[in-house]
């Protein structure tokens, strides 16, 4: 049967797309093994990345600035938003969306084969199932949710801590990790020991050990625990060439040097809606030459990051967050801002010492197997 636009995957990207498509009058079928599963992960973003259609109920907390610590603690004057994850999910209602609780086993053009033997045929198919298992660097984190009394001394008067690298490496050869502390609303805070990027990444047991060591022992009142473990690259290195349009983390909308993808996916949702409603291939609209070039530069940035020692990693991020916020924004959020991305990378490379500069250059010039070919 014909199902209009078929969206595979009911995570933030897929659900947002289905929600906005029906709002635009497009028939949608959303396929996921558990379309009503409640989201548990914590999602956050820079406040200026959010589209204006996000419902206020989807927001748990906002801060005007965030702390960043290498050797010293500085603040970045750029607003930061933490989602109320269940609120975000509820706000992206699926009224008038046909939902199918099944697993997609194959996408063949406009035909979607399900594990129960059903075959759906659509006018267009969008794959939003997340980054399918593949060989890639990963980000891992071990987090605990605590009350304000526990988080207060750690924040020391700051609203949030984006990266605190102090004390985050066991020795000069091991992968570094940083502490991430954000408010979740309702007097709760997430304290998370994070391995930004590793190939392989630090294991959750090691991150738990580091978090306990950093805090001088685990707090007695832990409300719940959160685990993070995901690939930093999409399902293919050149998503604009995929035979099926992939959207969200599945399709290269994740920044491979930060791991952030939700806000970018939300911001790009309406462009996909407009293309599909007009019968156009959304990949053409979403992947102009500038976006492809930025994507390739980011992959090279990840390759360079993986080569840095702990001390070089700290120096790199000190240089990065010493830049004006506009330059930071170009690299972190401008997925098609080629001039701004290149300018930010140049400023950081110029600011670090010669040895770190050489390591970054070697990494940026290499093309590891997980990055595939670039053009």
pLDDT of 171 reads: 62
**pLDDT, position 366:** 74
pLDDT at 352 over 80: yes
pLDDT of 187 strictly over 70: yes
For residues 306 and 141, what is the distance between their CA atoms, to the nearest angstrom? 17
Residue located via tokens 């930010």: 344
Task: Check residue 73 and give its pLDDT.
Answer: 85
Please provide the DSSP assignment of 27-80 as one string: -EEEEESSTTPPP-S--EEEGGGS-TT--GGGEEEEES-EEEESSSEEEE-S-E
Q: What is the mean pLDDT of residues 252-257?
A: 91
* SS3 call for 7: strand
pLDDT at 248 over 80: yes
Residue 367's pLDDT is 73
Q: Which residues contact 350 (CB under 8 A, 6 or more apart)?
A: 357
pLDDT value of position 237: 85
User: Can you name the residues that pair with 8 across neighbouring β-strands?
Assistant: 31, 127
Residue 301 CA to its chain's centroid (Å):
15
Which tens digits make up the pLDDT trace of 20-41?
999 999 999 999 999 999 999 9
Going by C-beta distance under 8 Å and a sequence separation of 6 or more, which residues neighbour residue 184?
Answer: 42, 60, 61, 82, 145, 190
Question: 32: which strand partners?
Answer: 101
pLDDT mean across residues, the chain: 92
Interval 139-180: pLDDT, tens:
999 999 999 999 999 998 899 999 999 876 656 678 999 999
pLDDT of residue 130: 86
Whether 246 and 127 have beta carbons less than 8 Å apart is answered as yes
**% of residues, the chain, pLDDT over 90:** 84
């Amino acid at each position: 049967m014909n199902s209009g636009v078929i969206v595979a995957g009911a995570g933030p990207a897929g659900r947002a797309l289905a929600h906005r498509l029906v709002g635009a009058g497009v028939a949608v079928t959303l396929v996921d093994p558990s379309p009503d599963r409640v989201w548990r992960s914590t999602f956050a973003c820079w406040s200026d990345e959010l589209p204006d259609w996000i419902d206020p109920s989807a927001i748990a907390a906002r801060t005007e600035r965030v702390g960043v610590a290498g050797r010293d603690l500085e603040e970045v004057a750029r607003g930061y938003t933490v989602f109320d994850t269940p609120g975000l999910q509820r706000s992206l209602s699926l009224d008038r969306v046909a939902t199918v609780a099944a697993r997609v086993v194959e996408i063949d053009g406009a035909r979607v084969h399900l594990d129960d033997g059903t075959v759906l045929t659509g006018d267009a198919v969008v794959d939003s199932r997340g980054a399918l298992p593949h060989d890639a660097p990963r980000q891992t984190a071990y987090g605990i949710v605590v009350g304000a009394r526990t988080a207060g001394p750690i924040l020391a008067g700051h609203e949030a801590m984006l990266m605190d690298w102090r004390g985050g490496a066991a020795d000069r050869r091991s992968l570094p990790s940083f502490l991430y502390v954000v408010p979740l609303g309702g007097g709760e805070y997430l304290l998370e020991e994070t391995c930004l990027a590793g190939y392989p990444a630090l294991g959750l047991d090691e991150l738990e050990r580091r978090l306990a060591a950093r805090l001088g022992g685990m707090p007695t009142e832990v409300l719940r625990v959160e685990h993070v473990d995901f690939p930093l690259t999409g399902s293919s290195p050149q998503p604009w060439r995929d035979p099926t349009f992939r959207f969200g983390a599945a399709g290269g909308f994740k920044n491979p040097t930060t791991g952030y993808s939700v806000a970018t996916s939300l911001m790009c949702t309406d462009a996909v809606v407009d293309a599909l409603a007009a019968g156009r291939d959304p990949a053409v609209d979403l992947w102009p030459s500038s976006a492809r070039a930025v994507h390739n530069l980011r992959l090279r940035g990840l390759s360079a990051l993986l080569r840095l020692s702990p001390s070089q990693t700290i120096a790199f991020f000190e240089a990065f967050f010493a830049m004006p916020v506009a330059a930071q924004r170009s690299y972190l959020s401008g997925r098609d801002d080629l001039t701004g991305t290149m300018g930010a990378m140049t400023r950081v490379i110029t600011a670090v010492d010669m040895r770190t500069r050489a390591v970054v250059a070697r990494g940026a010039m290499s093309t590891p197997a997980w990055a595939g070919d670039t053009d």
